[in-house]
Amino acid sequence: MATSLKSLSQYSDKNIQDISGKKFGIVVSEWNEQVTESLFSGAVETLLMHGAKKENIFRKNVPGSFELTLGAQWLAELEEIDAVICLGCVIQGETRHFDFICDAVAHGITNVALKFNKPIIFGVLTPNTLQQALDRSGGKHGNKGDEAAITAIKMLGF
Ligand code: DLZ
């Protein structure tokens, strides 16, 4: 994906463009499924609301957040995929692996984005408790899945 040059007269603050022809891959971690399914619903709803076509949204499940990177690579290497959204939830209190997993996913996703020159979005919740995760996946603090979808859409417009 090559970026397009935009002069100030073409620049929009919102940076939301026509995405009806864009193809999105969504990688969903099955760990903390209740949370990641809500993130997925939020992301899909947001993409559809902004004009994406249902037939242009592709889902791939992976066992845990650690595997999001490889799942993202599998989708990103498909030429027709324009952007990939990675959704996961790593709860600090429940795992001593927390730092390893979060660091690995953050670095891994960055590497995939740079390798394939495509937006790969980090939609991974890293809360202290399950309640905090629920609050951020359709609860009182909104839905990080929506935000991840908006980020993907924005990046396609840059
Ligand atoms: C092993 C593990 C643990 C303890 N906790 C989480 C978690 O909170 N969230 C998550 O997405 N995945 C977790 N995993 C699984 C790892 O991501 C990974 O699937 C395994 O270490 C196998 O590579």
Binding residues for 5-amino-6-(D-ribitylamino)uracil: 31, 65-67, 89-91, 122
Token reading at 139:
């609860």
| Ligand 1 atom nearest to CA at 32 | 9
Query: Domains in the chain and their CATH numbers?
Result: 29-157 (3.40.50.960)
Q: If you search the block for the tokens 């599998």, which residue do you land on?
A: 74
Query: What is the ipTM score, two decimals?
Result: 0.99
Tell me the three-class secondary structure of the chain, residue by residue.
CCCCCCCHHHCCCCCCCCCCCCCEEEEEECCCHHHHHHHHHHHHHHHHHCCCCHHHEEEEEECCHHHHHHHHHHHHCCCCCCEEEEEEECCHHHCCCHHHHHHHHHHHHHHHHHHHCCCEEEEEECCCCHHHHHHCEEECCEEHHHHHHHHHHHHHHC
| Pocket perturbation via mutation, ligand 1, pick of 61, 90, 130 by most ligand atoms within 8 A of CB | 90
pLDDT digits (tens, 9 = 90+) for 48-90: 999 999 999 999 999 999 999 999 999 999 999 999 999 999 9
Q: What is the pTM of this model?
A: 0.93
pLDDT tens digits for range 139-154: 999 999 999 999 999 9
Sequence-separated (6 or more) residues with CB below 8 Å from residue 77: 116
Please tell me which residue in 50, 97, 107, 141 is annotated as part of the active site.
97
Our answer to whether residue 141 is catalytic in this structure is: no
Q: What residues line ligand 1, using a CB cutoff of 6 Å?
A: 29, 31-32, 63-67, 88-91, 94-95, 97, 101
The first and second tokens of residue 120, run together, are 């790969």
